[in-house]
Structure 1
Amino acid sequence: MTSFRYLAPPSLLPSSRLPRAMSASTAPPIPLDIAFITGPTMVGICLSWGLAGVMVVQIYNYFEAFPRDPPFVKALVYTLAALDAVQTAMVTADAFHWFVFGFGDMARLNDTFLNSWDVPVLDAIISLVVQAFYCWRIWYLRKSYVIPGAILLVALLQCGAGIATGVRAHQLGKISLIGTEVAQQTIWLVGGAIADVSIAGVLSWTLLHERNGSLASTRGLITRALRLIVETNALTASVAVIALILYWGVPSQPTLVVPPTAIMGKLYTNCLVAVFNSRSKRVDDKQSSHGMQSINLPLPRTPRFSARRSGSSPVSVDGLGGGGGGGGGRVHVVKQIELDNMGVDMGTRPESEADMTSEDIESRKH
């Protein structure tokens, strides 16, 4: 015979027998402004995942387009990709801690968990790596230690402040206490913005000077690189300024600063890899707005061959004549101008008038 057991509803059970999530003494009540707590956090997590997807595409494009890059450049790109992946995994763990395992538990929602490490600490380290690389490029272009050294000091300062912010947040253990980290977080965000603006300004001045003394065929390429550098550094600086405004302007809602700070590290990695991926543009003579130049010279009929000098551009000669006829031929010289990440060509710039286009020769005469 089947027996039935009566289960009293939770309202009739003594408090000692209530589950942990149902005990009023252990679970804080859900506040009326819950949207201001969970909303910005969820937006930051979604943006972080979106930029992670963009980073995957960028890394794939880099892997396909630049297999012969110097080892230190590859190491830089793949190190940033690894840090980006680690940050994405930690942000995902935070999301599960707050919204899955701790659903409806305000105590867990207020717990920093891994957020004190994956946002301020990793953001600060990633930004330092990117800013240090730009400082190296400034030194390479200007052959001076003063300006890049000063920018590097600011980058180190913001990195130290970011790490201090993470350590302090871990010690406090509560997201609601983010507003107490005034000095550390201010230095971190202001330092990052100053470094980014300085990098954009110095590189802009340097590349403008380089463009004025360059050949006509490379001016457009340098202009494109200049625009990209300014835009990417302005983007990261703007996000830091927005985070600072939210931090100081709305101190009663500390979670509003989560979206901009959650994506800062990924913006740095995506922007730098985007600059790398923009170096090489290949088009033929019908698309003169890009970085390929095509020169056709009439020649007697000759078999096809191709050759490449060390450090030079590919040259191909095509025999275009018919079967036994003595038709004419032409040599098709293709010169690819491949720019490095700062808009300076990597050794393919013409050095003699034999290698120049007529436009280059005229520009040099003037």
Structure 2
Amino acid sequence: MPTAAEAIAEPTLYGVMITQTAYYYTTYSMDPRWMKIYVAVLFVADTLNSVFNMAWIYGVLINNFGNASALGIGNWLFETEQALTGIIAMQVQLFYAWRIYKLTGQLWLVATVAVPSVIGGLSGVGTAIGVGILPQFSGLQRLKVVVILWLMGAVVCDMIITTVLTWYLRKNRTAYTRTKGLISRMLQLIVSNGLLTAAFAAADVVAYLATTNSYHLIFNFPLCKLYGNTVMSTLNARSMLAPASSTAQYQGDGHVSFDGNTPWRQSSDTPSKSSQGNAGDNTTSRPAQIMVNVETHEMIDIPRQAMMKDGSWSDRDIEGELKSGGVI
């Protein structure tokens, strides 16, 4: 039963969204204010979607327990699912359109993302209006045009975003080891996130067209949560995609230093083993020093000005962007 599956998936995915949002605000307190507002609006919309969906599921499974006809009727709570899914998907996709502009500076690429995104978002709202006019689920088959525009707009937009970002990052991959590894991990995240949302939207379309039953809701209800979680995982990946690497060196000068900072020196009151040995031995070995160098990475927006003439990125320019607190 689709409703039972929704009752399980809904709170699970919302719990992931809560965790990711809390992690974002505790980890990226230095992000621009507009981005914090963007995350807040996204979280509020996702919360409203969860509240409305759970209220509808409660009404169907609890208040109308044993009433099979209730499973085939959509009320105003059900209508909000289509509207909020379209709005949240458009909000996420336009955020990726902004990222594409920051990377490439090409407005025509932004337009290829924005046009299907807006069409899909508005069609989602149109589907909600259509459900209000035809509340019986069997009437959804009469809304094929607007439903297909909604879901296929999401599929096309997600594939364009994945293709453009993958193409651009692969094109500008450099031979620098420090940046090449980061770009490879970014590509893995972009492809996995884009294909996940596109696959669910495509499965929703196929199930909707294949049968008059409401099996397509199995893919439709999680779609809203998947969009919110994918963009949050992208934002939070800045501190997780690039694991720190550390090395240790023994210097033998009697102190320990971390990353070139003020060293901690071993107390002179502690004699070495060699000084406690033969009293006639004039040579004493000092305790070994441990030097720990920690290298960290952060993912940032790389402006076009930070590129070299061959279109690649230099480590020095990237380090400058890191110091300036850039965000990707």
Please report the TM-score for the alignment, with normalisation by the length of structure 1: 0.72
| Cα displacement string for residues 163-200 of structure 1 (whole angstroms, at most 9, x for unaligned residues) | 11111111112222111110000011111000000000
Structure-1 separation of matches of 2:79 and 2:158: 22
Q: Is the 8 A contact 2:244 2:294 kept in 1?
A: no
Q: Which amino acid aligns with 1:184?
A: V
1:303 and 1:208 map into 2 onto residues whose CA distance is: 41
**Residue 177 (structure 2) pairs with residue 216 (structure 1):** yes
Counterparts of 2:248 and 2:92, CA distance in 1:
39
Q: Does 1:70 align with 2:32?
A: yes
Partner of residue 264, structure 2? 319
Q: Structure 1 pair 293/146, CA: closer, same or farther in 2 (3 Å)? A: farther
Other-structure match for 1:256:
215
Q: 1:296 to 1:209 in 2, by over 3 A?
A: farther
Q: Which residue of 2 aligns with 1:157?
A: 119
Q: Unpaired runs of 5+ in structure 1?
A: 1-38, 283-288, 307-313, 356-366
- How many angstroms apart in 1 are the aligned matches of 2:221 and 2:24? 24
CA contact (8 A) 1:207 1:226 kept: yes
Verify: 1:334 aligned to 2:287, yes or no.
no
Q: CA deviation at 1:238?
A: 0.4
1:215 positional shift: 1.8
Within 2, Cα distance between the matches of 1:208 and 1:297?
39
Contact 2:243–2:297 (8 Å) recurs in 1:
no
Q: Does 1:148 align with 2:107?
A: no
Q: Give the Cα separation in 1 of the matches to 2:290 and 2:208.
A: 66
Alpha-carbon separation, structure 1, partners of 2:246 and 2:114:
38
- Does residue 290 of structure 1 match 2:252? no
One-letter amino acid of the counterpart of residue 232, structure 2: V
C-alpha distance 315-280 of structure 1, shift in aligned 2 (>3 A): farther
For residues 60 and 38 of structure 2, the distance between their equivalents in structure 1, rounded to whole angstroms, comes to: 33
Picking from 89, 93, 108, the partner of 1:131 is 93
Could you tell me how far 1:159 is from its partner in structure 2?
0.7
Aligned residues of 1:189 and 1:240 also touching (Cα < 8 A): yes
User: What is the DSSP-based 3-state SS (H/G/I as helix, E as strand, rest coil) of the residue aligned with 2:30?
Assistant: coil
Q: Which residue of 145, 159, 163 corresponds with 1:197?
A: 159
* Distance in 2 between residues matched to 1:235 and 1:337, nearest whole Å: 27
Summarize the alignment of residues 13-162 of structure 1 with structure 2, pairs less than 5 Å apart: 39-162=1-124
Please report the TM-score for the alignment, with normalisation by the length of structure 2.
0.80
Structure 1 CA distance for aligned equivalents of residues 253 and 111 of structure 2: 58
**Aligned partners of 2:315, 2:38: CA distance in 1, in Å?**
30
Consecutive unaligned residues in structure 2, runs of 5 or more: 272-285, 307-313, 321-328
RMSD between superposed Cα atoms in Å: 3.1
Whether the aligned pair in 2 keeps the contact of 1:319 and 1:329 (CA below 8 Å) is no
Instruction: Count matched residues.
Output: 295
**Same amino acid, percent of matched pairs:** 22
**How many Å separate the matches in 2 of 1:194 and 1:295?**
49
Write the distance in 2 (CA, Å) between the matches of 1:341 and 1:46.
37
Distance in structure 2 (CA, Å) of the matches to 1:83 and 1:164: 18
Aligned to 2:227: 268
Q: Distance in 2 between matches of 1:90 and 1:219?
A: 44
1:360 counterpart residue number: none
What's the CA shift for 1:116? 4.0
Tell me the equivalent position of 2:283: none
Q: Which residue of 2 aligns with 1:167?
A: 129
| Match of residue 324 from structure 2 | none
1:317 match: secondary structure: coil
Supply the distance in 1 between the matched residues of 2:86 and 2:255 (Cα, whole angstroms): 60
User: Any idea what SS the aligned residue of 1:100 has?
Assistant: helix
Equivalent of residue 239 in structure 1, options 180, 200, 215: 200
Which whole-Å CA distance do the structure 1 matches of 2:221 and 2:293 have between them? 49
